[in-house]
Amino acid sequence: MKKNKLLIAISAIVALVVVTIGIIKNRHQATDDSVVRIGVILPLTGAVGFEGERVLASMQMAVEEVNTKSATDKFELVVEDGKWVAKDTITAYNRLMMKKVDALVVFGDTPCLTIKDASKNAEIPIFCISGVADLIEGNSWFIQCLFQSIGPTSKIADYAVRNEIYETSVLYLNEPLCQKTVAGFCEPYVRAKGKILSQDTFEWNDKDIKSVVAKALSNKPQAVFVFGYGPSYISVLNQLMTQKFNGIIMTDLNVIAVRKELLNSGAGIIYGDVDFGEESSNEATKEFIKNLKQLHGYEANAFAAFSYESIRILDRLIAKHGKSPNNILAGVSEIRDYSSIAGKLSYGRNRELKTSILVKQLTKDSVKVLDK
């Protein structure tokens, strides 16, 4: 009799333990299900590390906003340093896939192209902070989250000819992607009767920027078009002003790192950009720029803005379509005139981003819109 009672008691305890374990397990599953884990690949070290840090801070701001607003789903960033190097980018991608993240954000043209083939069967949405024109083709999981680079360059070319800027020297970073984007300036410019006086390149770690710039200026151009990124790109722009070039400097994006004190009082720098910057009338844009500077110590640029928006767009898609990767992908092309901190954004049926490009002028004292 005592043995039976003991067996019943033991059975009851075992049953209680099993139920308790089940409850705990279900609670953990519920907690895990409520967390959206977003893998991030960007350069935190290397030549472009400074840009990766700015981008990461922008995404962290967006995550904080989403988590403050949401009573259920919480976003979490899982970050890997791709170093802007192909081998390290692939390693970062593989690590994140092993961690079973729910979505990816990849910053930069080269990193996005590096994982394009490897991620064809990713089965998660991949937000690409890249302006490569044909990036989306061949990968059904890619979502472009930056305006295409050719947009600003062709807009600048059109503006230049309409304003009788007929003779231009071109300087660009010696990379295939940069060469392709520069063609987006040169081809429409020449078709419209503009003349390219010279095309010269510079390297990532070029030690003699002064000679590169002097060669371009030896042709006495009306304007110099500069394209690239990284320290040497900024050095070219600063060197143009140091050598007291009194013509027009043209580039494709707002360059926040130039030494404004060197800007001449005339043309300054003319560039293509979205509706983003301190000159914007959008209060949300101004708030973002202020907070990124005050809270994280970074000047805001288009890369920061679109990285921030990648998180907000994912939040919007999940709220409307749920967490199914296929439903998220299908919902992208439904986005029309979305009010972002970089102006109105829409998506095409192939998940390519569409937005308006403005021509702006940066001088020592201000930024103003020259052409919409």
> What pLDDT score does 164 carry?
95
Q: Which residue has the tokens 């939040």?
A: 315
Tell me the three-class secondary structure of 127-154, residue by residue.
EEECCCCCCCCCCCCEEECCCCCHHHHH
**7 assigned to some structural domain:** no
Does the residue 18 lie in any domain? no
Q: Is residue 296 in a domain? A: yes
Domain count, the chain: 2
In a domain, 83, yes or no: yes
> Do 223 and 312 belong to one domain?
no
Q: Do the beta carbons of residue 39 and residue 283 sit within 8 Å?
A: no
**Residue 124 shares a structural domain with residue 163:** no
- Report which of 178, 168, 166 is spatially closest to residue 253, judged by C-alpha positions: 178
Which residue is listed with tokens 């005050």?
294
Q: What is the enclosing helix (H) or strand (E) of 197?
A: strand 195-202
Burial class (CB in 10 A: 0-12, 13-18, 19+), 352: buried
Asked if the structure places residue 92 within a domain, the reply is: yes
* CA separation for the pair 308, 145 (Å, rounded): 10
Residue with tokens 């320290």: 231
Structure tokens at 116: 């394009």
**Residue 363: per-residue pLDDT:** 80
Placement of tokens 């708030």 in the chain: 287
Same domain for 40 and 134, yes or no, is: yes
Question: Does the residue 372 lie in any domain?
Answer: no
Burial of 337 (0-12, 13-18, 19+ CB in 10 A): exposed
Q: What is the pLDDT of residue 267?
A: 66
**Does one domain contain both 162 and 265?**
yes
One domain, residues 158 and 269: yes
Residues 73 and 84 in one domain: yes
Same domain as 228, residue 208: yes
Tokens 């990968």 correspond to: 139
CATH number of 158's domain: 3.40.50.2300
Is 169 in the same domain as 260?
Answer: yes
The answer to whether the CB of 250 falls within 8 A of the CB of 270 is yes
Please tell me whether residues 63 and 139 are part of one structural domain.
yes
pLDDT of residue 8: 46
State the pTM of this model.
0.83
25 inside domain: no
Last residue of a domain, one of 273, 303, 326: 273
Q: Are residues 164 and 260 in the same domain?
A: yes
- Given the structure tokens 């967006």, which residue do they identify? 62
User: 303: domain range?
Assistant: 34-147+282-356
Three-state secondary structure call for residue 215: helix
Asked whether residue 142 falls in the same domain as residue 208, the answer is: no
Chain centroid to CA 185: 21
Q: Give the bridge partners for 296, in sequence order.
A: none
Residue 170's nearest CA partner among 211, 132, 227, 220 is 227
H/E stretch holding 269: strand 269-273
Residue 243 domain-assigned (yes or no): yes
Residue-level pLDDT, tens digit, the chain, 372 residues: 544 544 444 454 444 334 334 433 443 343 467 899 999 999 999 878 889 999 999 999 999 999 999 878 899 999 999 999 999 999 999 999 999 999 999 999 999 999 999 999 999 999 999 988 788 889 999 999 998 877 889 999 999 999 999 999 999 999 888 888 899 999 999 999 999 999 999 987 777 889 999 999 999 999 999 998 878 888 888 888 888 888 899 988 756 556 665 665 456 789 888 888 888 889 999 999 999 999 999 999 889 999 999 999 999 999 999 999 999 999 999 999 999 999 999 999 889 999 988 999 888 777 888 988
Do 249 and 192 lie in one domain? The reply is yes
* Rounded CA separation 54/301 (Å): 9
Structure tokens at 132: 């490569």
Instruction: Please report the DSSP string for 282-345 in residue order.
Output: -HHHHHHHHHHHHHH-----HHHHHHHHHHHHHHHHHHHH-S-HHHHHHHHTT--SEEEBTEEE
